[in-house]
Amino acid sequence: MIRLIATLGKSPGGVAETIRNLSEGNYLSPYQPKAINLGEVIVVRTREVEETFKVLKSIVLCCLGRELKLKEVVLPFNDVEEIEHFRLVREKVRDIVRVGDYLDFSGGRKAISSAAVIAARENGAHLVTTIIPQKVQREIEEIYEEVKERAIKIYESYHCFEDLCKLISPYSRTLVLI
């Protein structure tokens, strides 16, 4: 089973865009892109982005058109403020990532993403990042503020609403670096 491990910040769209782009084979890489059948997504996040994770679960249910196991690893702090925090992130990611997995380091705090990248490379995972233009990111942030309260209450597909899927940008570009 191919898995995506993703760091999550305050915007859920980036992880959703990576899932979509990898699944559709819509990414840039040193080799010929092909659709990747992700079996599981594991999100590495801090306590402060619990709401973002709930919105991501709603996006996966409502906007990606597929069943997908979505798990989370919650870090016991909101940012890397000590060497011990960096080591803890690295160990947690090292414990879950395997050869052939994909690590999306786009979301979250830089030090957390850096520790995750080191662990992923130590274990032989691919590195992935998804980018969107800054102007589009600002527009998505505005949409997020408008929809987040409704989105965190979605538990069944019949609760889905169209504006939720606007958190996934059609202008995103995913890069598989290694």
pLDDT digits (tens, 9 = 90+) for 64-107: 977 899 999 999 999 899 999 999 999 999 999 999 999 999 99
The CATH classification number of 2-176 equals 3.40.50.10770
- Alpha-carbon Rg for the chain in angstroms: 15
* Rama region for 10: left / alpha / beta (φ>0; ψ in -120 to 50; rest): alpha
d(CA 79, CA 112): 7
Domain ranges within the chain, ordered by starting residue: 2-176
**Model pLDDT for residues 145-177, shown as the tens digit of each residue:** 999 999 999 999 999 999 999 999 999 999 999
3-state DSSP assignment of residue 59: helix
**Model pLDDT for residues 96-114, shown as the tens digit of each residue:** 999 999 999 999 999 999 9
- The pLDDT score that the predictor gives to residue 28 is 95
Evaluate if pTM is beyond 0.85: yes
**Percent of the chain whose pLDDT exceeds 70:** 100
CA distances from 72 to 7, 52, 138 (A): 10, 12, 26
Kindly state the helix (H) or strand (E) to which residue 7 belongs, with its residue range. strand 2-7
Per the listing, tokens 């606007």 go with: 166
